[in-house]
């Protein structure tokens, strides 16, 4: 038991694996740590991508603005 709401049971043991069963109320979120880390890293990459793209486009945009201003 973890606290008084979450119950962990060993369902199966093989050579290099252990299968666990988890009973918890719907209000308790059960997440595997490696998946949380992976999703978090992907979210950071996804959030950084638009900024990286804007930084690559900024010089070309500045040049176009400068050219437009010199023609005016």
Q: Rounded to two decimals, what is the model's pTM?
A: 0.48
pLDDT, residue 45, reads 79
Q: Read off the pLDDT band of 43 (50, 70, 90).
A: confident
6 pLDDT tier (thresholds 50, 70, 90):
very high
Res 16 pLDDT > 80: yes
Q: 20 pLDDT exceeds 90?
A: yes
Longest distance between any two alpha carbons in the chain, whole Å: 77
Are residues 20 and 9 in contact, defined by beta-carbon separation less than 8 angstroms?
Answer: yes
Looking at the predicted structure, is the pLDDT value of residue 52 above 80?
Answer: no
3: left (phi over 0), alpha (psi -120 to 50) or beta: left
Residue 24: exposure state from Cβ atoms within 10 A (0-12, 13-18, ≥19): middle
């Amino acid at each position: 038991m973890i606290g008084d709401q979450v119950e962990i049971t060993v369902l199966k043991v093989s050579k290099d694996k252990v299968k666990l069963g988890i009973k918890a109320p719907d209000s308790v979120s059960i997440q595997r740590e490696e998946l949380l880390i992976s999703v978090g890293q992907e979210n950071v990459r996804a959030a950084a991508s638009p900024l990286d793209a804007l930084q690559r486009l900024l010089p070309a945009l500045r040049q176009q603005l400068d050219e437009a201003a010199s023609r005016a």
